[in-house]
Amino acid sequence: MIDERTRKILLAIIKHCNVIEQTKNYFGDSYKEFEESSIYQNAILTPVTQIGELVKRLSNEFRNEYTEIPWRNIAGMRDIVVHNYETIDKLILWNVADKEILKIKEFCIKILNER
């Protein structure tokens, strides 16, 4: 059973995952389009940053209980985006947006439905 604070964080993560999905639908679901468009890249970076920030707000107990999600990597991606923008690997960012976001969203929905 999760507390209200955690529930709100998970709902916010889902919201940002949906933004990434909508962005991909708008710009196109191809790495080539993503790689060539700084607007597309920035549109993905913002929700990725927000998800990383939200993950940092989850309790250590929660993150330790649900180890199937790479919480540390998600938070680390946020730090890279915020502090070292120029070092972001576009392919890694694309893989996060293309594959990992769906896993995170499905996990959050699963946990909320268990409640």
Per-domain boundaries in the chain: 4-114
Q: What is the per-residue pLDDT for 84? A: 62
pLDDT digits (tens, 9 = 90+) for 1-37: 789 999 999 999 999 999 999 999 999 999 999 999 9
User: Pick the catalytic residue: 5, 7, 72, 78?
Assistant: 78
Mean pLDDT across 44-48:
93
Beta-carbon contacts of 105 under 8 Å, excluding residues fewer than 6 positions away, are 13, 14, 17, 18
pLDDT value of position 109: 96
Residue 5 annotated among the catalytic residues of the structure: no
Distance CA 63, CA 60 (A): 5
Position 62 confidence tier, pLDDT thresholds 50, 70, 90? very high
pLDDT at 112: 95
pLDDT average, residue stretch 64-73: 90
In the predicted structure, residue 96 carries a pLDDT above the cut 70: yes
Enter the pTM of the model.
0.90
- 112 CB neighbour count, 10 Å cutoff: 14
Phi, psi of 2, rounded to the nearest 5 degrees: -105, 155
